[in-house]
Structure 1
Amino acid sequence: MRTLAVPSFVSLDGVVQAAGGPHEDPTGGFTMGGWAVTYFDEEMLNRPSETSYELLLGRGTYEIFAAHWPYDEGPVADHLNSTRKYVASTTLDRVEWNNSTLIPGDVAEYVRKLKCEDGPELQVHGSPGLVQTLLRHDLIDEFRTWIFPVVLGSGKRLFDGGTLPRALKLVDSWVSKTGVMLNTYVRDGEIPIGEMDFEVPTEAELARRERLAAG
């Protein structure tokens, strides 16, 4: 079974939209594009990463990548240009970037079958809409969140309409000199529910509950 990981640049309030530049994704009137760029330093850029992986991309991120990486050089560009890419879109009728495949039909079922095949890790870069679909179908195994010390107030979020309640386990954590925290989380089953109230509720607490129940 292949791991499906979501590496993402996230603001402190959960926004992932247009981290790399103002022209990346201004949809919805978003004006803060490029909010992550100035926090990168050499240590962050040289962090070790999974050397072998294939990509799952939504239409928007596919178009951003396809307009950039074929014209760039270096190890990252070489890998992204050569690796297999699977693109989820209901509007594209073809994908022309090298080694790209348009996902036909049901995206969740297609990804479920991909995970069962032999091959390298699957990664979702950007693609907030696709991430919601994968969350809704409980297909993500690992979150690698680069949490930047900014609050944006609006924009597309990592955990949004597709999110199901799940417990996560922190397996790695690292903080950059610029204050960016890289946390890696894996799935950890259902959320354990506890209670911090008295074993026998007070009369005031019982009255409060009655008021809540009455609306």
Structure 2
Amino acid sequence: MTRELVYTGFMSVDGVVDSPGGTVEGHRSGGWVLGTEVLPEAFSLKDEELAETTALMFGRRSYAAFAPIWRDSPDHAAYRDLPKYVVSTTLDTDTLVDGWGEITILRSSEEIAELKRSAGGPIFIHGSAELARRLSEADLIDRYHLLVFPVLLAAGKSVFGRADRDRQNLRLRNSAVYSNGVVKLIYDVAH
């Protein structure tokens, strides 16, 4: 049994995932999640994920954005002691954030595949659109947890590439529609 690699993210109807909570990545519509009415039930997926998460994975830029904030955030306290993996060919161990649990730098898709073959539970990828796209193209993503928001952004990062490739079938595991227009979609990748 291999560990599951799960991408989780907020997404616009047209597939954009960058800058949902702010302008940190420079998207001109940064903070687009904040324009939708907050309904606790629409965000309950995040609590469900926390119960299942055994490790976190980030690309270098998402790690740099999240680590200093999530380390001290009461909302993310449960993540503090979980193992974390940062995928980067350039990140130096001297620049890792102290006090945020065990952090391992992975340098290649081969190292990620090896991690998936190790003992343990699901590893959740937060943010990290470029990493998720590369992992999807390498058939390493096992599941998608998407909260799709009722907004069109026209431009921005997506976890889904546009390059010609073999079809990848998904199986719907769970879904829900909320009165604020948010749609929860959980898909398993049919390997």
TM-score, length-scaled by structure 2: 0.87
Aligned to 1:134: 135
Distance across 2 between alignment mates of 1:17 and 1:163: 23
Aligned to 2:33: 36
Cα offset for 1:18? 0.5
**Is this contact kept in 1: 2:68–2:97, CA < 8 A?**
no
Cα offset for 1:87? 0.3
Cα offset for 1:45? 3.3
**Is this contact kept in 2: 1:20–1:33, CA < 8 A?**
yes
Distance across 1 between alignment mates of 2:54 and 2:83: 8
Alignment of 1:155-194 (within 5 A): 155-161=156-162, 164=165, 165-188=167-190
Distance across 2 between alignment mates of 1:101 and 1:152: 34
* Letter matched to residue 155 of structure 2: S
SS across alignment from 1:31 = coil
Aligned to 1:79: 78
SS across alignment from 2:130 = helix
Aligned to 2:17: 16
The answer to whether structure 1 residue 67 and structure 2 residue 73 are counterparts is no
Q: Which structure 1 residue ranges, 5 or more long, are not aligned?
A: 190-215
Distance across 2 between alignment mates of 1:25 and 1:38: 18
Structure 1 residues 180 and 128: alpha-carbon distance in aligned structure 2, compared to 1, 3 A threshold:
same
**Is this contact kept in 2: 1:136–1:162, CA < 8 A?**
no
* Letter matched to residue 171 of structure 1: R
Range with greater deviation from structure 2 (46-55 or 30-39): 46-55
**Is this contact kept in 1: 2:130–2:159, CA < 8 A?**
no
Distance across 2 between alignment mates of 1:5 and 1:60: 18
Q: Which structure 2 residue ranges, 5 or more long, are not aligned?
A: none
What value does the CA root-mean-square deviation take over the aligned residues?
Answer: 1.7
Structure 1 residues 163 and 21: alpha-carbon distance in aligned structure 2, compared to 1, 3 A threshold:
farther
**Is this contact kept in 1: 2:42–2:184, CA < 8 A?**
no
The aligned length equals 181
Aligned to 1:90: 89
How big is each residue's C-alpha offset from its partner over 1:38-63, in whole Å with a ceiling of 9 and x where there is no partner? 32322223444131321110011101
Structure 1 residues 163 and 87: alpha-carbon distance in aligned structure 2, compared to 1, 3 A threshold:
farther
Distance across 2 between alignment mates of 1:2 and 1:184: 17
Structure 1 residues 184 and 117: alpha-carbon distance in aligned structure 2, compared to 1, 3 A threshold:
same
- The structure, 1 or 2, with the larger RCO (C-alpha pairs under 8 Å, 6+ apart) is 2
TM-score, length-scaled by structure 1: 0.78
**Is this contact kept in 2: 1:136–1:163, CA < 8 A?**
no
Distance across 1 between alignment mates of 2:35 and 2:161: 26
